[in-house]
Amino acid sequence: MAKIDPAKIWSLNHRLLMSVIASVAADITALGVETKELFVLSEVDDHPYPAELAASLCIPKPSVTLYVKRLEAAGFLRREIDTADLRRHRLELTSAGRRVMQQGNALLSEAFALKLGRLSAAQQAELRALLEKMS
C-alpha cells in the first residue's frame, strides 16, 4: 500500500474549497461583499464578539476589525456596546446583512453541491462522517 501524504490531502482539500469559492466570487461581490466578509457575516450569530470571530475564522484581529468596519459602513452589521460588559462591543447582523449572508451562502452551497454531486449518496455520507471525525 502506498504511503499517504497528509500534505497532498490538505492540498487537494484546499484546491477544492478555493475552486468553489472562485466559481462564485463574482456573484458574491455583486451582493456587495467580498468572500471573506461573507464568512464574517456567516459567523456573527454564533460569535458576536470580534475577538471570538477572529478565533473562529482563524483571521487576525486587525483583519476582522477592518471587515467589521466595512460591513458596518455598508449597513450589513451593527456594532453595539454589550450591556452585560460595557468594555465590549457586540456585533449584530442587520436585516440587509442577513439577506446578503443567506444569498451568499446559497451561492456557495450550490457550487459545492455540484462538486458533491460527483459522489454517490453513500460517499457523501462517508465524507461528512470523516470530516466530522476530523473536526
Pick the closest to residue 126 from 14, 134, 7, 11 (CA basis).
134
Calculate mean pLDDT across residues 60-73.
96
- 8 Å CB contact between 89 and 79: yes
pLDDT (0 to 100) of residue 1: 67
Query: What is the arithmetic mean of pLDDT over 93-114?
Result: 98
Question: Which CATH architecture does the domain made up of 10-134 adopt?
Answer: Orthogonal Bundle (1.10)
17 φ/ψ sector (left φ>0, alpha ψ -120 to 50, else beta)? alpha
What integer pLDDT is reported at residue 104 of this predicted model?
A: 98
Q: How confident is the model at residue 81 (pLDDT cuts 50, 70, 90)?
A: confident
- For the beta carbon of residue 94, count every other beta carbon within 10 angstroms: 16
Cα-atom radius of gyration of the chain, to the nearest Å? 17
Residue 16 has pLDDT above 70, yes or no: yes
Alpha-carbon torsion (15, 18, 20, 26), positive or negative: negative
Q: What average pLDDT does this structure show over 58-76?
A: 96
Q: What is the pLDDT of residue 131?
A: 92
